[in-house]
Amino acid sequence: MRINNVEIVDTFAEAFPMAAVRVTITAKNEKWAMQAALAATGFATSVIGCGIEADIDGPSPSTPDGRPGVDCLFFGMSTDALEKQMLKRIGQAIMTTPTTACFDGGLAECPADERKPLKLGGKIRFFGDGFQASKIIGDERYWRIPVMEGEFLIQESFSTAKGIGGGNFMILAESDDAALTAAEAAVERMREVRGVALPFPGGIVRSGSQVGSKYAFLPASTNIAFCPTIRSRVPQTVLPPGTNSVMEVVIDALTYAQVAEATRVGIEAACLPGVLQITAGNYGGKLGKHHFHLRELLG
């Protein structure tokens, strides 16, 4: 299969279940909502080294307090791991940002019977040192935490469900410029799909990893099969002749359909001049139960 003379390799991306939560951050204006969102989703590229993966989902279509808002997605390897990270990120990045409030962003895409409560606000409230107050509106409890600026409002419970992490595709190109241009085009198109997180900086990773290492203390190391500078030294290289740069796009999302759609539109956008192949990373189906066959997604 070829698109614009770019070969689509007959392979699949392998992804795995992750615990997911969507958070809505509101503030006095868009500037401060985005400042909190950027801080909360920072240093969240990979669970390997960061403990969590996160990205900004986009402007909130509506907010509980009627103020400007930004939706953020967070993914962890378990509900417990996700909770530990979220308490830190809400407490240190969102509550500290001027004028913000924090609400459950909802997981309407996920089946109702799979959604579970995560009492983030119910634990953050203790920062109020006994002066925090709660109010029930409808079926939801909210906490008002006194801070030097005024009050930080946070919903008691947030919805969590099983999302998907580790979707991916790789762009093999003739040059750094060609690979980066193609990856940028892919990311721009993929960000139009709601419910999708591209956790690496700018949505792109240049240092993809493999499981394990020759060093016993490392759980992961550089993906030598895709490193152009050492292809003559490693028998497992998979790079076709002329490949001098590889960029990877990693995809987390709330549903299988969202990963599939983001992968499809991303690959289509990445088939630009200078790109030789588009392929994906997998471990023969041993790592995750979700498989995204590139050629099938592209029809």
Q: What is the pLDDT of residues 251-271, one digit of tens each?
A: 999 999 999 999 999 999 999
Could you say which architecture CATH assigns to the domain 19-161? Answer: 2-Layer Sandwich (3.30)
Distance CA 11, CA 224 (A): 18
Q: Report pLDDT for 81.
A: 97
Give the pTM: 0.96
Q: What pLDDT score was predicted for residue 288?
A: 87
For residue 286, name the pLDDT band (cuts at 50, 70, 90): confident
Q: How confident is the model at residue 285 (pLDDT cuts 50, 70, 90)?
A: confident
Residue 198's alpha-carbon distances to 18, 71, 192, 222, in angstroms, are: 14, 14, 12, 20
Query: Do the domains at 2-14+165-297 and 19-161 have one common CATH topology?
Result: yes
- pLDDT average, residue stretch 185-206: 98
Q: How many helices (H) and strands (E) does the chain have?
A: 6, 17
Decide if pLDDT at 203 tops 90.
yes
The number of beta carbons lying within 10 Å of the beta carbon of residue 162 is 17
Mean pLDDT within 119-126: 98
Left if phi > 0, otherwise alpha if psi is -120 to 50, otherwise beta: which for 138? Answer: left
3-state secondary structure of 260: helix
Q: Where are the domains of the chain?
A: 2-14+165-297, 19-161
So what's the pLDDT on residue 237?
94
Give the pLDDT confidence score for residue 199 in this predicted structure: 98
Residue 151: the pLDDT is 98
Q: Is the pLDDT of residue 129 over 90?
A: yes
pLDDT tens-digit readout, 12-35: 999 999 999 999 999 999 999 999
Q: How confident is the model at residue 287 (pLDDT cuts 50, 70, 90)?
A: confident
Write down the mean pLDDT value for the chain.
Answer: 96
Looking at 3.80.10.10, 3.40.50.300, 3.30.70.520, 1.20.120.450, the CATH number of the domain 2-14+165-297 comes to 3.30.70.520
For the chain, how big is the Rg over CA atoms in Å? 21
The whole-number pLDDT of residue 263 equals 98
